Amino acid sequence: MITYPFTYKRAKSVDEAVALLAGSPDGKLLAGGQTLIAAMKMRLANPSDLIDISGIKELSYIRGNAGAVAIGAATTHFEVASSKDVAKAIPALAHVASVIGDPAVRHKGTLGGSVANNDPAADYPAAVLGLGATIKTNRRSIAADDFFQGMFTTALEEGEIVTEISFPVPQKAAYKKFANPASRYAMAGVFVAKFPNGIRVAVTGAGPCVFRVPQMEAALAKSFTPDAVAKIAVDASGLNSDIHGSAEYRANLVTVMAKRAVAEIA
Amino acid sequence: MSVVSMTVNGKPVSVETEDRTLLVYFLREQLRLTGTHIGCDTSQCGACVVHVDGKAVKSCSVFAVQAQGAQVTTIEGLAKDGKLHPVQEAFRDNHGLQCGFCTPGMIMTAVDMIRRNGVMDRDTIRHELEGNICRCTGYVNIVSAIEDAAKRMTSGEKAA
């Protein structure tokens, strides 16, 4: 499959990427391209210019500091999955990165790209929302709770570039997903994180956008056991329904994945 | 149009191509390296896996221009001096192919996973093969071939 024509430009810095983006009629950022290029090949996307930010050194790093792990937006899934620092501080985050797509996809795909795209079935949004991470851009810092706004929709404005995501280190966390056997995308993925000041439960794949489950969070705060969430069902209305599974099926998967995630760390 | 320069299987190449040319078409149609196959063309099947700077990628999902300046290895670049790569040998010895269409991608993926993991159990090999589909469903022997190759390569047999 061949995409529509476009002009390719390689940015060496975030400032240069911002300028190139502003100077193109309908430019798009290219990071790993594992979603964007597929969409362009289907001719669902037709950017005038692709600004390649994958080689920007200032966007590729993993830094641990007091209570948080900061990861540059152009860091690949492979780099996060194989990082000793991430595995030590937040093993569940390394696990999330290790179950995205397949090895070849993980060699190209990036954290910033996944989060900015906000695919309803992407894995990273569950970790970002589940850990209450902060998304840093070239303009500001955005809390995860304010960032994910709907299907493929985020708080990002025109010309705004994700530069870093900072993940608070929890006491414990786990991610369990029920993957579509062909695409490996999450049919339902549940990220559970335990912090001294509370529990966060985030669900991806089941709805049009990643979401939290306050009822499960409250129940787990009282009793951090699989049984605490076993009887809590999310409302199936509004969940995704397709050839792979009905909304009711996905609602049930959310409860099952939540139980499994809690069982791993309880 | 851009002039894209890269090193393919150890040889420098410099070819004018459209920005929208996918790496797999660049390799197959402009360089005539047709060992890299196009199966699904949607990043699911892995028949097009090549190595870019030592890492396995799906060449149907990368533009050639993104590999500007890179070291690219295709299935044609594995054998050295007329001698098959140990992974190729292991696929032959274990009957790790039936129709052979997925084989170049399977082998490039296998070389990458062995480089990262060394000797692996069968479950790990299957997990690593998630991005490669064999339509003949010949997975049992593919897994055996990779298991065998990993042992050969880590037991001192010269890895190319």
The domains located in chain B, with CATH, are 2-77 (3.10.20.30), 86-154 (1.10.150.120)
What does residue A223 show for φ and ψ, rounded to 5 degrees? -145, 110
Cβ of B111 under 8 Å from any chain A Cβ?
no
With cut-offs at 50, 70 and 90, classify the pLDDT of residue B156.
low
Q: What percent of chain A has pLDDT over 70?
A: 100
Instruction: Give the ipTM.
Output: 0.94
A54 vs B2: CB contact, 8 Å cut-off?
A: no
DSSP track, B56-79: EEEGGGSBGGGGTT-EEE-GGGT-
- Closest alpha carbon to A202 in A122, A141, A109, A102: A122
Q: Which residues of A touch B68 (CB under 8 A)?
A: 10
pLDDT for B159 beyond 60: no
What CATH number labels A57-168? 3.30.465.10
* Residue A207 Cα, gap to closest chain B Cα (Å): 23
Nearest to A103 among B41, B43, B113 (CB): B113
pLDDT at A161 over 80: yes
Q: What is the pLDDT of residues A167-193, one digit of tens each?
A: 999 999 999 999 988 778 899 999 999
**What is the pLDDT at residue A65?**
83
**B157 pLDDT exceeds 70?**
no
pLDDT at B7 exceeding the cut of 50? yes
Buried-exposed string B21-53: b where 16+ CB fall within 10 A, e elsewhere: bbbbbbbbeebebebbbbbebebbbbbbbbbbe
Mutate to test the interface with B, among A99, A108, A123, A185 (most CBs of B within 10 A): A108
pLDDT tier, A130 (very low <50, low <70, confident <90, very high otherwise): very high
DSSP class of residue A58 equals G
Residues of A in contact with B25 (CB under 8 A): 2
Every domain range in chain A assigned CATH 3.30.390.50: 172-265
Interacting residues of B142 by C-beta distance below 8 A, sequence separation 6+: B91, B96, B97, B106, B129, B134
Question: A165 pairs with which residues across the strands?
Answer: A71, A135
| Residue B148 in contact with partner chain A when CB distance is under 8 A | no
Cα–Cα distance, B92 to B102 (Å, whole number): 14
Q: Which amino acid is at B126?
A: R
Q: Closest partner residue to B20 among A3, A34, A103, by Cβ?
A: A3
- Sheet with strand A62-65: strands edge to edge: A62-65, A68-72, A162-168, A134-137, A141-143
Q: What local confidence, expressed as pLDDT, does residue A63 receive?
A: 97
The arithmetic mean of pLDDT across residues A92-116, rounded, is 97
A40, A98, A102: best to mutate for the B interface, most B CBs within 10 A: A102
Mean of per-residue pLDDT scores for chain B: 95
| Residue ranges of chain A assigned to CATH 3.30.43.10 | 7-52
Reading the block at residue B110, the tokens are: 């296998």
What integer pLDDT is reported at residue A10 of this predicted model?
97
Chain B, nearest residue to A184 by Cα:
B130
Q: Which CATH number, 2.40.30.30, 3.30.1490.20, 3.40.50.300, 3.30.43.10, labels domain A7-52?
A: 3.30.43.10
The pLDDT value given to residue B1: 87
Across A227-235, average pLDDT: 97
Does any CB of chain A come closer than 8 Å to the CB of residue B55? yes
| Residues ≥6 apart with Cβ < 8 Å to A68 | A166, A167, A168, A169
- pLDDT tens profile A26-45: 999 999 999 999 999 999 99
Instruction: Copy the structure tokens of residue A172.
Output: 């414990």
Query: How long is chain B?
Result: 160
Task: Indicate if the pLDDT at residue A266 is higher than 70.
Answer: yes
As a whole number, mean pLDDT of residues B14-26 equals: 98
Distance from CA of residue A136 to its chain's centroid?
A: 14
Region A9-16 average pLDDT: 97
* C-alpha distance from A228 to closest chain B C-alpha (Å): 32
For B96-146, what is each residue's pLDDT tens digit?
999 999 999 999 999 999 999 999 999 999 999 999 999 999 999 999 999
**Nearest residue, CB atoms, B131 vs list A4, A5, A105:** A105
CATH superfamily entry for domain A172-265: CO dehydrogenase flavoprotein, C-terminal domain (3.30.390.50)
pLDDT of B160: 46
CA-to-CA distance for A169 and A69, rounded, in angstroms? Answer: 7
